């Protein structure tokens, strides 16, 4: 899976946008693409700690499938002290398709640059008849289903992630 993520915080208002292109390996990326855009409010926001509640929209499209849109909710939490920190996030989409995206990372900051090293797991169910239990029963062996025109089973894409960013 190849992904990009952007975050913007102004006072206590925050926005998170992500884009993922899914495949079995980085060389064999399929045409399954997903976008999530969330906005929210940091109900806890200090110099050292922030918790944000988010809501928005997710979309997904595949090889020959039409684009599907669904409402999404999420949360992020960040703890930071001097140049080191930790962040966790969760986003859930439960409309015509279901996805659960979980991420945890350690953060190192130097000046305006930030490096994130962590782990990410994304459960994705493109079938229209699944439930949350179906979504969570996905295995990493079903990743190839996401490159098919009509996915027949939920998939779990999980592994380490690396992120770089600019902090102002």
Domain boundaries, the chain: 2-166
Structure confidence at residue 157 as a pLDDT band (50, 70, 90): confident
Q: Which residues of 117-146 are buried (b: 16+ CB within 10 A; e: fewer)?
A: ebebebbbbbbeebeeeebeebeeebbebb
* Best CA proximity match to 89, nearest among 48, 132, 133, 52: 52
| 41-68 per-position pLDDT tens digit | 999 999 899 999 999 999 988 765 678 8
Distance (Å, whole) CA 160 – CA 57: 25
Structure confidence at residue 155 as a pLDDT band (50, 70, 90): confident
Q: Write down the pLDDT at residue 150.
A: 43
Q: What is the mean pLDDT of residues 90-113?
A: 90
pTM metric for this prediction: 0.82
More confident call, 146 vs 65: 65
């Amino acid at each position: 899976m190849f992904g990009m993520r952007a975050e913007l915080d102004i006072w206590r208002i925050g926005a998170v946008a992500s884009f993922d292109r899914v495949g079995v390996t980085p060389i064999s990326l399929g045409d399954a693409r997903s976008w999530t855009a969330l906005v929210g409010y940091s109900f806890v926001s200090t110099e050292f700690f922030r918790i944000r509640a988010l809501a928005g929209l997710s979309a997904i499209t595949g090889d020959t499938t039409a684009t599907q849109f669904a409402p999404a909710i999420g949360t992020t939490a960040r703890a930071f002290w001097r140049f080191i920190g930790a962040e966790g996030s969760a986003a859930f989409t439960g409309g015509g398709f279901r996805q659960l995206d979980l991420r945890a990372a350690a953060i190192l900051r130097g000046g305006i640059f930030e490096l994130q090293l962590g782990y990410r797991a994304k459960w994705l169910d493109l079938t229209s008849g699944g439930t949350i239990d179906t979504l969570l029963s996905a295995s990493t062996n079903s990743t190839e289903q996401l490159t098919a025109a009509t996915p027949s089973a939920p998939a779990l894409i999980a592994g380490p992630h690396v992120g770089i960013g600019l902090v102002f």
